[in-house]
Structures are given as C-alpha cells and as structure tokens.
Amino acid sequence: MESQNTLKVLLDVKNLTTRFFTDDGIVLAVDNVSFQLMEGEILGIVGESGSGKSVTSMSTMRLIPIPPGEITEGQVLLKGRDVLKCSEKEMQDIRGNEIAMIFQEPMTALNPVYTIGAQIIEAIRQHSKMGKAKARERAIDLLKLVGIPAPEKRVDDYPHQLSGGMRQRVIIAIALAGNPSILIADEPTTALDVTIQAQILRLIREIKETQNKSVMLITHDLGVIAQTCDRVIVMYGAEIVEQSPVRPLYKNPLHPYTEGLLSSIPKMDEDVERLNVIEGMVPNPLALPAGCRFCSRCKKAQERCKAEKPTLREAAPGRLVACHYPCEVQTDE
C-alpha cells in the first residue's frame, strides 16, 4: 500500500461530470468523479449497469457520442495534460497511442467489410511510419501475442469468420497496435463464455506484465476484479462510493453497498440457504435523490442520509468511502 503512493500517476481524473440530454430528460451519467490511475497497476471499476462506469471510461477518451452526451465539467490529466482541452487533432495522437480501448461487444466492434489484418494494420500505421509489408508482419506478431493460432492465415480473415473469443483477441491486438501506455477494457468478457472469459482475463494480465501497461478494467463482476485487479473503485448512481486496494475491500468492505455486492457473490466454501441480494432498484438517473443515492436500499440508512449527501473521504490510508455510517475499518496488524 505504501509503495503505491510513490508510484507515478499516469491518469488523473478530476471532478469529471458527463450528462446526456435525452428525450426523457437530462441523465447525469457521471457525477463529479475523481480518481487516479498509477503506472503499472490494474484498476478495476465495478458497478451495476447504469452506474456510470462505462461512460466514465469513454469520457476519458472522449468517445461518448455528442450529442446527446456532453462532458460538462472536470479534467482528465494524462501525464499532466488535460485531455478534455485537447484539439481533435491532438486527440488522434492520444487515442490508440497513449490510451487504447478494448470494447464490450466483440461481435460488433469490428468493421464487417475489412479483414482483421487490414484493421490492425490501419491502427499500426496510424501511429508509426511503418511500410505496409512491415506493418503486416507486426500485425501477425500481434495476433500471435494475443494467442490466435495460425496468425499468418487468420490475418486475411473477415470478422464474421471468427468466433467471439477470437474477435475479442483481435480487438486486444488492435488496442496494442499503437503501443499505448494505458489500456481501458470496458467489460471485455461480458459477452463471452465463462471459459473464454478466464482466458481473456489471463491474457490481459499477461499483457500488463510483459508489455508494462496500466489497465483500467470496467466490469460488473466482483469476481473478475478479485482475479485481476490491484485497486478497485466502486460506482453507484453515477458516483464513486468506495475506493480501495482489492484485498482489504474483499475482507472489509466499508460502504454498505459494497458489502451488499460482496454478500451476493456465491462462495464455494460456505453453505448458504439463500444468496443475499440487495433489495430495491438503482435510483432513476433522471431524478437522483438529494441525499445519499443508496439510501433507499441501505439497511443502515438514517434520517441524515436522506437529507445530506455524503462526500468521499479517507477512512484509512488508501481507502476512500462516501458514507455517513460506513462499516468499521479493521486493521490487519
């Protein structure tokens, strides 16, 4: 834990706020979110669907559709430079080259009319002045790296000829093509079979180790976080409710929501009659409550929670929580 503070901050997100102007009303998708991504770590962002985790990651790359979306506030500092203030031209150098993204839907994230080779080569040549033949070689190397068998043959295949898991590997290869320092993986395994999921997660971990990347892993699955991440951010109702290194979070969640999430995971070593579920629904993003957003589903909720919104504060070294009545911090020592 101490060592992390001395690590270099690669990406510093400050007060990021993204809203969508829809037909039903203004949706606050990301509300005043701040966090940092350190060099060489895997940061997990976990939350239910609609909690704003995907929009957070897309906003850092400025990939949200405008309109209806709009980043209304905040800074995204990449090595000290504010991404949100960059021109479209400067963004081109950042995307793929500094930050790259692995997408959720391997079935639709590749252009159906070009071969996978062409799509990787395109990404390579965008960021380096490589000749076509050399770029093709590199594309084959990348395919080999992400574990595609017979890459020399596969390079000329069209996306529809590959399985979902293979396509996801191709998408990872595209993300690696520009040799970025940050990889954002947005639910990279959600659309895949369980066995393939594990392979892809292992691949991401390997790449992080061998290629020395920082990874932001977005998922709704705390199990995935436990397997893969160093640090974790829990999002609820467009906000961060808890931020912590992985191990202490699982042992000793501070926010009642995290506690609820953890107790809803089935455990192999315990006999339980029924799985715990968090009662109630995610708050309506069109009409977020004035106080704590988890208040209506929280067992510990008091009058104060309804009226006053808790702010994110440090509960222990490296651990932040946004709750008036968090669980007690247990110290290992």
Partner 1 sequence: MGQFIGKRLLRGLLTIFVTMVVVFLLIRMAPGDPASILAGSMDTDEAFVESLREEWGLDEPILKQFTVYVKNLVTGNLGYSYQYLTHGKPNQPVISLILQRLPRTFILAASVIIFSILIAIPLGTICAMKPGSWFDNLTFSIQMTITSIPNFYIGMILIALLAVKWKLLPTGGYGDFNSFIMPMLCLSFRYIVTFTRTTRTELGQILNSDYLRTAKAKGLSRTVVLFKHGLRNVLIPIVTMIGTRLGGLLTGAVYVETLFRYYGVGELLISAISARDYPTIQAVIPYIAAVFVIVNLAVDMSYFALDPRIRKK
Partner 2 sequence: MKTTKNDRRYRNGHLPWYRKKGVPRLIVGCILVLIVVLMVGVSLFWTPHSPVSGNLADRLVAPFHTGKSGTFYLLGTDPLGRDMTSRIMAGGQVSVLVALLTVALCALLSTFLGVLSGYYRGWVDSVLSMICEINISIPLFLIVIMIIAIFGSSVFVLALCLALNEWVSVFRQTRSKAIVQSNYEYVTAARVMGANNRKIIIHHLIPNIVPTTMVFSTLLVGSTIIAESGLAYLGLGVSKPFPTWGRMISEGQAYMNTEWWVSGIPAICIAILVLGVNLIGDGLRIIWRME
**H or E element: which one contains 214?**
strand 214-219
Whole-number Å distance between alpha carbons of 331 and 237: 29
How many other CB atoms are there within 10 angstroms of residue 75's CB atom?
A: 15
DSSP H helical ranges for the chain: 2-6, 53-60, 88-94, 116-127, 132-145, 151-154, 164-177, 194-211, 222-228, 246-251, 256-263, 303-307
Q: Which stretch binds partner 2 (CB under 8 A): 14-22, 41-49, 92-100, 221-229?
A: 14-22
- Looking up tokens 């929009």, which residue turns up? 55
Q: Which of 25, 223, 280, 317 binds partner 2 (CB under 8 A)?
A: 25
Range in contact with partner 1 (rule: CB under 8 A) among 22-30, 158-166, 291-299, 322-330: 158-166
Residues paired with residue 36 on neighbouring β-strands, in sequence order? 12
Shortest spacing between CB 284 and partner 2, in angstroms: 11
Beta-carbon contacts of 34 under 8 Å, excluding residues fewer than 6 positions away, are 13, 14, 15, 16, 74, 240, 312
Residues 254-293, mask of contacts with partner 2 (x by CB under 8 A): --------------------------------xx------
311 touches partner 2 by CB under 8 A: no
Regarding 23 and contact with partner 1 (CB under 8 A), the answer is no
Site string for partner 1, 95-134 (x = CB under 8 A): xxx--xx-x-x--xxxxxx-----x--xx--xx-------
Among partner 1, partner 2, none, partner that 73 touches (CB below 5 to 8 angstroms by kind): partner 2
User: Do 96 and 126 meet the contact criterion of CB atoms below 8 Å apart?
Assistant: yes
**155 touches 136 (CB < 8 A):** yes
Kindly state whether residue 284 participates in binding partner 1, applying the rule CB under 8 A. no
Residues in the chain: 333
Nearer to partner 2, 24 or 273 (CB): 24
Contact window for partner 1 (CB under 8 A) among 69-77, 144-152, 170-178, 286-294: 170-178
Using CB under 8 A, which of 27, 28, 76, 94 touches partner 1?
94
CA distances from 172 to 102, 116, 120, 272, 291 (A): 6, 12, 10, 38, 41
Cβ at position 295, least distance to partner 1 in Å: 35
Closer residue to partner 1 in complex, CB, 103/236: 103
* Residue 21 C-beta: closest distance to partner 2, Å: 5
Residues 234/241, Cβ–Cβ less than 8 Å: yes
- Which stretch in 6-14, 65-73, 162-170, 319-327 sits in contact with partner 2 by CB under 8 A? 65-73
Q: Classify strands 69-78 and 319-321 as parallel, antiparallel or unpaired.
A: unpaired
Residue 123's Cβ-side half-sphere holds a number of Cα atoms within 13 Å equal to 30
The CA-based angle 115-58-70, given to 5 degrees, is: 125
> Any contact of residue 72 with partner 2 (CB under 8 A)?
yes
Write down the least CB distance from residue 108 to partner 2, Å: 17
The Cα 172–Cα 101 span in angstroms is 8
Asked if 73 is part of the footprint of partner 2 (rule: CB under 8 A), the reply reads yes
Residues that bind partner 1 (CB under 8 A): 61, 63, 65, 67, 88-89, 91-97, 100-101, 103, 105, 108-113, 119, 122-123, 126-127, 158, 160-161, 171, 174-175, 177-178
Which residues bind to partner 2, rule: CB under 8 A? 17, 21-26, 67, 70, 72-73, 286-287
